[in-house]
């Protein structure tokens, strides 16, 4: 398993072979990279900016606000789900 992967997988060496574990890790990484994409996160969230009295829904505005005002007070990120 490579160091650059963000996913933690635990396998028992008695149950599964190393090559099979690597293949399963690769498949899971491909699935999770698609599911954890940035644009999907921006689509499922909205930003409430109390300082500007705005609620931002569009993907572009959500992404821009997250990068610019992430540490600002009274800027809240809410998941629509």
Q: Do 54 and 65 share a domain, yes or no?
A: yes
Residue 79: its H or E element: strand 75-79
Tell me what pLDDT residue 7 has. 57
Same domain, 3 and 32: yes
What does each of the 81 residues of the chain score in pLDDT, given as a tens digit?
Answer: 444 555 556 656 566 777 887 888 888 888 877 767 778 888 889 999 898 999 999 989 888 888 887 678 888 888 887
Same domain? 10 vs 31: yes
Rounded to two decimals, the pTM is 0.52
Domain count along the chain:
2
Asked whether residue 6 falls in the same domain as residue 29, the answer is yes
Position 46 scores a pLDDT of 92
* Count of CB atoms situated within 10 Å of the CB of 81: 5
16, 29: one domain: yes
Return the pLDDT at 1: 45
pLDDT of residue 6: 56
Reduced 3-state DSSP string for 27-74 = HHHHHHHHHCCHHHHHHHEEEEECCCCEEECCHHHHHHHHHHCCCCCC
Tell me the residue range of the domain where 68 lies: 39-79
Q: Tell me phi and psi for residue 60, to 5 degrees.
A: -65, -45
The verdict on 74 and 46 lying in the same domain is yes
């Amino acid at each position: 398993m490579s160091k650059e992967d963000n996913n933690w997988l635990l396998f028992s060496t008695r149950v599964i072979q190393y090559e099979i574990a690597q293949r399963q890790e690769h498949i899971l990484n491909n699935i999770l990279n698609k599911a954890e994409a940035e644009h999907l996160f921006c689509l499922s969230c909205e930003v409430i900016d109390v300082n500007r009295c705005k609620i931002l829904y569009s993907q572009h505005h959500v992404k821009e606000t997250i990068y610019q005002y992430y540490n600002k007070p009274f800027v809240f990120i809410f998941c629509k789900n």
